[in-house]
Amino acid sequence: MKNGFFFLFLCLVAQLAIAQDAVVAVGQAEQDKDKLVIDDPELGNLSGEQKRVSAELLEVLRNDFIFYKHKFNAVDYLEKGKNSFSTPDLEKWLANGVSYFVAGRMDPAPGSSVDASFKVWSVLTKKELYSGKIRVSAEGLRPTAHSIADALYRSVTGRPSIFNSKILFISDRTSGKDIEKELYLMDFDGRRVDKLTNFNSVVLSPSISPDNSKIMFSLIATKKEVSRTKVRLIKNIDLKLLDLKTKNLTTVSDRPGINSGAIFGTNADTIYLTLSFSGNADVYELNVSSGRMRKITSHYGDDVDPSITRDGSLMTFLTNRSGRAHIYTLNPTETEKDVKRISFVGQFNATPRFSPDGKEIVFTSWVDNGFDLYRIGADGNNLVRLTKGSGSNEEPAYSPDGEFIIFSSKRMVSRRKAVQDVYIMNREGEILGQLTQNFGQCFSPQWTNL
């Protein structure tokens, strides 16, 4: 019972020790920005509905690029170009300090659809970086717009964006007399929310496979225990696996005690999770197909909440082996190999998560009577505080490109009511917006790795 309480307290509420030197202040970092203009498109002979689709498409494109305002200084410009798709005046944009210029043309297609064409120029070199055409329907407008925005972004940066990604999260919005927490999936910008589960129970700690085909999560399951004299109901934290393509649900582990905090390894068949069937909570490696299990941690303290680098060479986890919950790293190829404590900030720590390149860890710390977010180098150096004085901030996770962090934040909306929602910030701690609203209490956001 002690282990179950410890895990739930650490992984559902969040936790954290002493003061750490050389903390970089919130929002201290700066970087140069390029000016990028997305001009109004040329319009063919469009119907009223086609004009609406074109206007909404342009709005989505511009809003997408606003998320990267730490890279681009502008995404719109008051002085519009004339026939900028057919005959762009690059000298004009050069005089206005523009680095990249995006122009479009919208032509009629069947029904309310439009054929959208876009070009991207490097204004400095006068080189055309991208040219593409795609049909946009009213029904598929938003996903198509995100794909166009990603193509434009890649042409300028050479890297994928977050525009096609999705966010997995938990909400209690269907709760009645009893608390219910179900899984939901939404676009990176908080739109197009889909409900994934209907257990009428409590879902915990979701994780998505590297190929985005499967989701693991824990579920508080109620089971019957039959003895000679009576039948009693017992609760257990079981680990489940949901196949998003087939909708099949399987039980990965239902050992007595904790089966939670699970993450995928380099493939969908290898997972790492916390189990407490032997008494202590320890981190294990488990092969889903064969059931073969290997111990990663082995200590009298409780070890929970693992995160692992993409190449599988380094693991971070949360443990109370030093007295309170702090963040450690180890080499997961052997049991207890190269164990190192890296967090020394706050009274408790929680939810450590690696950046995609494995160089940083973002985590939660209890500091100044509240939960705030920090990031730190995987070697324990370069601690940066990301939030301060803006609610109770927990459960951070990096975007697939490492440029952003999503997190849950509980904020007071009245003297007696606080609401927990999902927020997004860039990696320097600039909060860009609230992604969920009027959606109950929201927890455990995880980014898909598209």
Domain ranges of the chain: 2-27+165-447, 34-157
Look up residue 51 and give its amino acid.
Answer: K
| pLDDT reported for residue 364 | 97
C-alpha–C-alpha distance, residues 370 and 391, integer Å: 8
Tokens representing 49 are: 């509905």
C-alpha–C-alpha distance, residues 422 and 444, integer Å: 9
Residue with the two structure tokens 């762009």: 88
Closest CA to 101 of 86, 116, 90, 91: 90
| pLDDT reported for residue 134 | 98
| pLDDT reported for residue 16 | 32
Q: Positive or negative CA dihedral for 177, 182, 186, 188?
A: positive
Tokens representing 389 are: 């004085």
The list of the chain residues with pLDDT below 70 reads: 1-31, 74-78, 449-450
Residue with the two structure tokens 């697939």: 400
| pLDDT reported for residue 17 | 35
**pTM listed for this prediction:** 0.89
Q: What is the chain's length? A: 450
C-alpha–C-alpha distance, residues 430 and 155, integer Å: 25
C-alpha–C-alpha distance, residues 350 and 306, integer Å: 10
| pLDDT reported for residue 312 | 93
Cβ–Cβ under 8 Å, residues 31 and 426: no
Closest CA to 120 of 96, 137, 98: 98
34-157 maps to CATH 3.40.50.10070: yes
Burial bucket for residue 438 (CB in 10 Å: 0-12, 13-18, 19+): exposed
2-27+165-447 CATH: 2.120.10.30
| pLDDT reported for residue 10 | 43
